[in-house]
Amino acid sequence: MIISRDIGKRVLDRSRKYPVLSITGPRQSGKTTLTKMLFPDYTYVSLERPDYRQQAEEDPNRFLRTFTNGVILDEVQRVPDLFSYIQVIVDESRRPGQFILTGSQNFLLLEQISQSLAGRVAIFKLPPFSFLELQSSPYEHDDLDTYLFTGTYPPLYDRGYEPHPWYMDYIQTYIERDVRSLRKVTDLALFQKFLGLCAGRTGQLLNLNGLAGECGISHNTARDWMSVLEASYLVFRLQPYHENFNKRIVKQPKLYFYDSGLLCALLGLQNPEQLAQHYLRGSIFESFIVSELVKARWVAELSGTGHFWRDRHGHEVDYLIDSAHGIVPVEIKSGETIHSSMFQGLEHWSKLTGSALDTGYLIYGGKEKQDRKSGHVAGWCVMSEILQSLSGSNQT
């Protein structure tokens, strides 16, 4: 069964206006499936295939002009020379929806796009499935630990793979195929150690010096490798909110993973039962919720990943939704029982900003929805309203 993707309608809409569309995302996020479904009459060409790649490298102009009725070029960054020829063709024809470009080495793909196709291309990011996409499918989970452990990559659903061995293969494939091709990474074993250390720091303030020291690399190398992980859509940094309210605030970003299943695999978890007892379960849950809020921003075509707020005294709000009606604070707690201490961040934010106490949200590890004087409560499996309001808001 093919699960409908939230960005599909927007992709089709842009294909009627832009000559080139680009869909980036991590490996196995469903880019090929989506493009074939949206553009069934287009020719699909994977430049991972040596024969196609050779044709494109030897005579790029002739290769591209063969496809007169639209073409999907997968892993197009493998032949960088194509981008200049695509520019010439679309400037001549001015026909919308002529080229659909996809790739998993997003750092290379976006670099080529910015150099050759600026102003001619609509860019979309496709993560693995979102919570909303899975909730509207037959595959939704009722058990939180099973959901977190399984993650959201499509092959775990439409092909029925077991999560732990699949993620182990995925990590190795990512390092062997994508990371090996980068000049920034020369020691693959050390890079894999770096990736594992990042997993142990999810949900924490990112200290690159400390991370570099533990991994045995320089600060500059840690910075470069972090940019590789971000460009691969494996991790992201959540930036602190800049308004200081006359108090000192932290300036470091927080580190999160886009997929909880990948995160569990990197932490060595082999089943949901181990996750239930793991000391980082709260951080894994927080990473899952924050990543869903970020995915909702992408559906709404909003830039960035959003913000959190924390001052030097330890007061914190896990996520801030900058909506058309003002900033909406969100607290994230993995516990299944609601108690008053869960609302401390929301209550402090209300006092600090003068905002109404009941405007914030608490997303927790239970399943109920409640309205309390200190904020709205939404269990992890009933948070659709929050995600939908975010993806449909007029944020900046």
Residue 25 pLDDT > 80, yes or no?
yes
Measured distance CA(197)–CA(214) in Å, rounded: 8
In this prediction, residues 118-129 reach a mean pLDDT of 91
What is the model's pLDDT at position 108? 67
| Contacting residues for 200 by C-beta, under 8 A, at least 6 apart | 267, 280
What phi, psi does 258 have (nearest 5°)? -70, -25
What is the model's pLDDT at position 1? 66
Range with the poorest average pLDDT among 23-37, 216-230, 249-263, 302-316: 302-316
Q: How many CB atoms lie within 10 A of CB 351?
A: 10
Rounded to 10 deg, the angle between the 208-215 and 188-199 helix axes is 130
> Where does the pLDDT of residue 394 fall: very low under 50, low under 70, confident under 90, or very high at 90 and above?
very low
> Where does the pLDDT of residue 396 fall: very low under 50, low under 70, confident under 90, or very high at 90 and above?
very low
In this prediction, residues 106-132 reach a mean pLDDT of 84
Question: What residue ranges in the chain does DSSP mark as E strands?
Answer: 20-24, 43-46, 71-74, 99-103, 121-125, 235-240, 254-257, 307-310, 316-323, 326-333, 361-364, 369-372, 375-379
> Where does the pLDDT of residue 291 fall: very low under 50, low under 70, confident under 90, or very high at 90 and above?
very high
pLDDT in tens, 148-165: 999 999 999 988 899 999
In this prediction, residues 240-249 reach a mean pLDDT of 77
Contact present, 56 and 63 (Cβ < 8 Å): yes
User: Measuring CA to CA, which residue among 73, 78, 104, 102 is closest to residue 89?
Assistant: 73
What is the model's pLDDT at position 386? 84
Range with the poorest average pLDDT among 29-43, 107-121, 232-246, 308-322: 107-121
Measured distance CA(83)–CA(75) in Å, rounded: 12
